Amino acid sequence: MQTTTSTLTNSPITFQLTEDQALIRDTVREIAEAEFAPKAAEVDQKHRFPRENWDLLAASDLCGLPFPEEYGGANLDHVTYAIVVEELAKACATTSVMYSAHVSLTCAPVFTFGNEEQKQRILKPMCLGEKMGAFCLSEPGTGSDSAAATCTAVLKDDHFILNGSKNWITNGIEADWYLVIAQTDTAKRHKGLVALMVEKGSEGFTFGKLEDKLGIRGSSTCQIMFDNTPVPKANMLAEQGDGFKVAMSTLDGGRIGIAAQAVGIAQGAWNHALRYSKERAAFGKLIGEFQAIKHMLAEMQTEIDAARLLTYHASVAQDLGKKFTMEAAHAKLYAAEVAMRSTVKCVQIFGGYGYVSDYPVERYMRDAKITEIYEGTSEIQRLVIASNLLKGI
């Protein structure tokens, strides 16, 4: 039997942030606390896409953070990227997913699989924050089973003609560039898929209704439809038939972003619960003095720290340039479940006040749930981890 070892074995890991990482964390925290957190409840209640938050991320040179400067990026590492996503999620989960769907699900595949012309034409304006990205893999009838995509792409001369629809598209109505995975030959299943960059405004490209979601309610999620939509062959990433690999390796990076988002949601809710435990009195003392509350706070922070370390671990693996599928799945699986467990406990600490929208913890609990679902459910992460562990048997 072939044994699977971590890609990080013998790698020089320290969990001390560099000066630059700490500086960016502090800067983004300051922006998020001052600008995003105060509006998070309103964004949630009104289902309002906070376009001004995107503009501020762009003005802060964050939209292309891990990509080279020649493409408009900041040339920073993926640990820094995870730190930024966490800080955004602590303040406003909607803003963190708007950002991560753009960076890790759209910019990253153009950087990894695009040619030089595509990087200059498509990636650069996205890194500069002039254009926003969205990732279109799921369909009304295919979620976890991505290879079963039925949206078709037929090559005619120098254009693909797209027909079909895509579901649950983050940044749906708001994006400018859409990475669409479509089928060129159903008989070939995953080997028939192609990855195409489709521009908003293309002929026959329309939007369905905005989804009314449990959480991340300011995020623009909708169905998109293609009716004989022409897409230049020049917008194809990699080769025809590579669409599944483009999608899966993109999701490896995306899952680290969702792990960081989950850590941020959990830490944000915990911060509120800690503050409340020091303010709220019952039976003649502060509730933080009761062992039941102390244990909850201690367990939660232990798990959140562990989730953060798994997220950094996966980010380091990504920066080492090796395959990091398993590390990303570990981080996403654990962080998402920690976010759900912790936010439920935070609501419990607030008691009745946790159940109403006067305090933010119920929003964190609703926001946490999606991290166990999108970019691969927790069940899919277990499958990915197991199939990597059992490879070669």
Spatial neighbors of 356 by CB under 8 A, at least 6 apart, are 362
Does residue number 244 form part of the binding site for ligand CAA (CB under 6 A)? yes
Pick the piece of the chain touching ligand CAA (CB under 6 A) from 11-19, 222-230, 337-345, 371-379.
371-379
| Per CB under 6 A, 207 contacts ligand CAA | no
> What is d(CA 336, CA 343) in angstroms, rounded to the nearest whole number?
11
Per-position x/- string for 135-174, each x denoting binding to ligand CAA as judged by CB under 6 A, each - no binding: x-xx-----x-xx--------------------xxx----
Question: Hey, what are 257's tokens?
Answer: 């972003």
User: Of 344 and 383, which CB lies nearer to ligand CAA in the complex structure?
Assistant: 383
From the DSSP assignment, how many helices (H) and strands (E) are in the chain?
13, 10
Kindly indicate which of the ranges 119-127, 281-289, 298-306, 380-388 contains the residues binding ligand CAA, using the contact rule CB under 6 A. Answer: 380-388
Q: Each residue of 182-191: b (16+ CB within 10 Å) or e?
A: bbbeeeeebe
Give the one residue of 21, 183, 219, 249 binding ligand CAA; rule: CB under 6 A. 249
Instruction: Give the span between the Cα atoms of 180 and 174, in whole angstroms.
Output: 16
Binding mask 52-91 for ligand CAA (x = CB under 6 A): ----------------------------------------
Residues 6+ apart with CB under 8 A from 42: 48
- Residue 252 touching ligand CAA (CB under 6 A): yes
Question: From the candidates 211, 337, 375, 379, which is the catalytic residue?
Answer: 375
Cβ distance to ligand CAA smaller for residue 95 or 325 = 325
Burial of 292 (0-12, 13-18, 19+ CB in 10 A): exposed
Q: How far apart (Å, rounded) are the C-alpha atoms in residues 173 and 131?
A: 13
375 flagged as catalytic: yes
Binding site for ligand CAA (CB under 6 A): 101, 135, 137-138, 144, 146-147, 168-170, 190, 244-245, 248-249, 251-252, 325, 374-376, 380, 383-384
